[in-house]
Amino acid sequence: MANIEYTSKSLAPFEEKMKKTISVLKSEFQTIRAGRANPRILDNISVSYYGVDTPLNQVANIQVPEARMLMITPWDKTLLKELERAVQASNIGIHPMNDGQSLRLVFPPLTEERRQELTRDVSQMGEDAKVSVRNIRREAIDLYKKYLKESDISENLYYTVEADIQKLTDRYVELVDIAVSEKNEELMEI
């Protein structure tokens, strides 16, 4: 009986997974266009460079000269046309202007309808993150149920662990809600 020792660090691996979920959610949020220029929107775009798919930010310099403009200057000028095609083929909804030296992406202000659509997308991403956090909770509870079934922990300890896991889950679900709320505020500001 009571072969498993429970300390404040026993839930650390599960908390680490929950932190990772929040981190992934926030990085997903950075790829959503909020009406102002953000180089992270180009993170998922890659170009063929000497036969290898290479991320755009590894073959070009990306600058933000104005609040609503990105400037992409390739290090190898022969890549300019390829970069232009890659940006057009992506789903960011902005057509690049090619001046022969660099590409300029001008971000138009978001329409009210598009803002509403993006807030729905953000809310869905938040719900997906909450599901991930709850799955981590289930994983932790299942582990401690197994310990209880094998008589490695007492029933009292199991209920203590279960309460601690629920507190941890509630805290991370709240962090997801805060992140979603902040992103929606950013999207709705004009």
Task: Please check whether residue 3 lies inside any domain of the structure.
Answer: no
Assign residue 115 the CATH number of its domain: 1.10.132.20
Reading the block at residue 173, the tokens are 């679900």
Q: How many structural domains compose the chain?
A: 2
More confident position, 190 or 143: 143
- Regarding whether 115 and 77 lie in a shared domain, the answer is no
Cα dihedral 14, 44, 113, 71 sign? positive
In a domain, 116, yes or no: yes
Torsion, Cα 138 141 145 148, to 10 degrees, reads 180
pLDDT score at 139: 96
> What would the mean pLDDT of 113-138 be, rounded to a whole number?
92
Give the range of the structural domain holding residue 153, as residue numbers without chain letter: 12-30+111-188
Q: Is residue 7 part of a domain?
A: no
DSSP string, 25-49: HHHHHHTS--SS--GGGGTT-EEEE
Q: Are residues 19 and 50 in the same domain?
A: no
The H or E element that residue 3 is part of is none
- Let me know whether 180 and 139 are in one domain: yes
**115 and 169, same structural domain?**
yes
- Strand boundaries in the chain, DSSP class E: 46-49, 52-55, 60-66, 69-74, 97-98, 103-106
Would you say residue 154 has pLDDT above 80?
yes
Model pLDDT, residue 165: 95
**Residue 90, pLDDT score:** 81
**pTM for the whole thing?**
0.71
The predicted pLDDT at position 14 comes to: 94
pLDDT value, residue 8: 66
Beta-carbon contacts of 130 under 8 Å, excluding residues fewer than 6 positions away, are: 173, 176
Question: Does 66 share its domain with 128?
Answer: no
Same domain for 156 and 124? yes
pLDDT of 78 above 90: no
Residue 171 lies in a domain: yes
Domain end: 106, 125, 157, which one? 106
99 and 140 assigned to the same domain: no
Q: Are residues 26 and 115 in the same domain?
A: yes
Residue 2 has pLDDT above 60, yes or no: no
